[in-house]
Amino acid sequence: MSSIAVQHSLLYNAFDSDIWKVLSSKLPVGPNNRLKSINICKHNVEHYLAIKGLIVSDINAARSSFKILFILLSIDLIQNEVQNKKLIGVRVSFVLRGEMKSYNLAVRGYYPSIDQLESDIPASDLLIQWCSQILSEFEIDAKRDILTSCTDSGSDVKKALEKVLPTQCEWCVSHLTHLALADAFGSSLDPSRSQNVAVREVITKCQKVIESLNKSKTMKHTFEERCAKEIGKVLKVRNSPTHRWSSLDDVLARLLRIWDHIIFAYNHHQS
């Protein structure tokens, strides 16, 4: 139910979908179940309206305080690889009574029609149209309220916020940090584009050690026994995708801590 709410954003539309019909048929609602007196659709719609009301109230309060442009807008296009769907995420941040407020207004499917895609409307303009519709649900007028924006380096999104809206576009520190550390670790998804081949090779070798340990039941059993004896507990061997720099620190720190126990298990396995 939460997944449906996020995907469709407006719960009124969610309950008209085929997905909801399948899900609702599985819910414990009926004469022999405790939920027989609960209207699930009404419950979720009321929940959405209550939360929306709180957000709109905060935005109106901030608008009355500033009398100027005051909202930071963040937009992101997300590719859901599991369902092969594209989503648009919209978030607003502003200051209210000295406190920073930040609300994720929507993460919903981004499905421009065939006519829209084949028209002369630039992708950046189309993106702003979708974003403006979401903002209007929360009584936000982009030209009246949006002062600055933040996004990744996607060309369509940047153009939408810098040229179409336009706003004072701010760099996304998280994305910049990710790119800098990806170069430092040489962890580009494409090995041929790695900016640090030496570190990339070290990380690759570490991952092969972890994979070998996890694939061998006998070696893993010896390793776990050794950990329990020497450390007092079994420590899991952590792993992470090469491009996830943020978890590499944990992976390498754990590998260094248990390296002697891995070598012991390997030698025992070889003998």
Q: Which domains does the chain have, with CATH numbers?
A: 2-171 (3.30.420), 194-270 (no CATH)
When pLDDT is averaged across residues 176-197 and rounded to a whole number, the result is 78
Strand order in the sheet with 71-80: 99-109, 85-96, 71-80, 146-151, 168-171
By C-alpha distance, which of 172, 151, 173, 175 is closest to 162?
151
- In three-state form (DSSP H/G/I as H, E/B as E, the rest C), the secondary structure along 38-106 is CCHHHHHHHHHHHHHHHHHHHHHHHHHHHCCCCEEEEEEEEEECCCCEEEEEEEEEEEECCEEEEEEEE
User: Would you say the C-alpha torsion 224, 230, 234, 236 has a positive or negative sign?
Assistant: negative
Q: What are 101-160's pLDDT values in tens digits?
A: 999 998 888 888 888 777 888 888 888 888 999 999 999 998 889 999 988 777 888 888
**Residue 79 β-bridge partners:** 86
Give residue 138's pLDDT. 93
Mean pLDDT of the chain: 81
Q: What is the pLDDT of residue 202?
A: 86
Q: Distances in Å between the alpha carbon of 54 and those of 23, 68, 103, 194, 251?
A: 29, 21, 11, 47, 42
Quick one: which H or E segment has residue 171? strand 168-171
Q: What's the whole-number mean pLDDT along residues 62-79?
A: 88
* Continuous segment of H or E residues that includes residue 143: helix 142-145
Tens of pLDDT, residue by residue over 221-264, are 999 999 999 888 888 887 766 556 667 778 888 889 999 999 99
Separation of alpha carbons 59 and 123, rounded Å: 29
| CA angle (214, 216, 220) in 5-degree steps | 65
How much is the pLDDT for 203? Answer: 82
Strand partners, 249: none
**pLDDT tens column, 41-51:** 677 778 788 88
